[in-house]
Amino acid sequence: MHVQPIQPDFAAVVSGVDLAKPTNTALVDAIWAAIDTYAVLVFHDQNLTDLRLRDFSAQFGPLEIGRSAARGGPRRLALPEIGDISNLDLNSEVRALDDRRRLDSLGNRLWHTDASYMPTPVVLGLLHAKALPPPSPFGNGETEFADMRAAYDALTPEMQAGIADLIVEHDVFWSRGQIGFTKFEPGEREQYPPSPQRLVRTHPGSKRKTLYLSAHASHVVGWPVADGRLLLLDLNAHATQSRFVYSHRWREGDLVIWDNRCTMHRGRPHDEMQPRDLRRATTLDIGSTLDEAA
């Protein structure tokens, strides 16, 4: 396995591995070490069925069942651990512009970390590209990643001290509301109540401090909502400056692994009339961020 950094300590291309073949624990350990250093890993030319993506991903931790699979009812993809990151309906047709599921998924275009609204959030996202849209005037469906460790390091010591112990409420209804999506299904509000999370976390693998920001982050617990929201807006603007960002231009067969504990990501626009089909497995954390040491 060869690891070629894209930026000195953020994002790397990993080559020399065929993930469709059985992977041993030595390889999984080597990938973990690269994740702890680079936070985002790109593997080109992988040919993974959903079953293989699930089984490979499960070597990194227990897998999340996402909101859409948890909802029940018919799905395009058979395995509940595989998230359908596509614009396709049950018949693999491109969804209409006003399709509810499509509008919900547009929340991914906001800078976020996955599932931070859950009491026990997630760790790794493993996203595999099956079909991609052609270039369009609005964008090419890139996925951008921002390094929350570097963003934390670049804060003033005063700011670092000021935010050290803050708790932020994360709420999927807040992130979706920002793009005008409020049509949740009956019962979903109750099923996904907001969750409190630490704003500053220490990454267990690298021991680096990191900002735990997300579009789901609504306000600071114990502060007036407006003050907390304004602080989060400021921190988001700081943390998503281009010097902290890697933009991934997808090729079919790419697998990108990112660590949700120390990065944010967002999808970019593309031709909405063309299929874009990616599949995602996600590993779960072991406890609430509130139980982590500061």
Residue ranges in contact with ligand OGA by CB under 6 A: 85, 108, 114, 125, 127, 143, 265, 267, 278, 280
194 contact choice in ligand OGA, Mn ion, none (CB below 5 to 8 Å, kind-dependent): none
What residue number has its CB nearest to Mn ion? 114
Read out DSSP for the chain? -EEEEEETTEEEEEES--TTS---HHHHHHHHHHHHHHSEEEE-S----HHHHHHHHGGGSPBP--HHHHT-S--SSS-TTSEEEESB-TTSPBPPTT-HHHHHHGGGGS-B-TTTTSSS-EEEEEEEEEE-PPPBTTB---EEEEEHHHHHHTS-HHHHHHHTT-EEEE-HHHHHHTTT---PPTTHHHHS--EEEESEEE-TTT--EEE---TTEEEETTS-HHHHHHHHHHHHHHHTSGGGEEEE---TT-EEEEETTSEEEEE----TTS--EEEEEEEE-SS-GGGS--
* Shortest Å distance, C-beta 114 to ligand OGA: 5
Cβ proximity to ligand OGA, 68 vs 143, nearer residue = 143
Residues engaged in binding Mn ion (CB under 5 A): 108, 114
* Shortest Å distance, C-beta 113 to Mn ion: 8
Cβ proximity to Mn ion, 70 vs 161, nearer residue = 70
* Shortest Å distance, C-beta 266 to Mn ion: 8
127 contact choice in Mn ion, ligand OGA, none (CB below 5 to 8 Å, kind-dependent): ligand OGA
Cβ proximity to ligand OGA, 202 vs 240, nearer residue = 240
What residue number has its CB nearest to ligand OGA? 267
280 contact choice in ligand OGA, Mn ion, none (CB below 5 to 8 Å, kind-dependent): ligand OGA
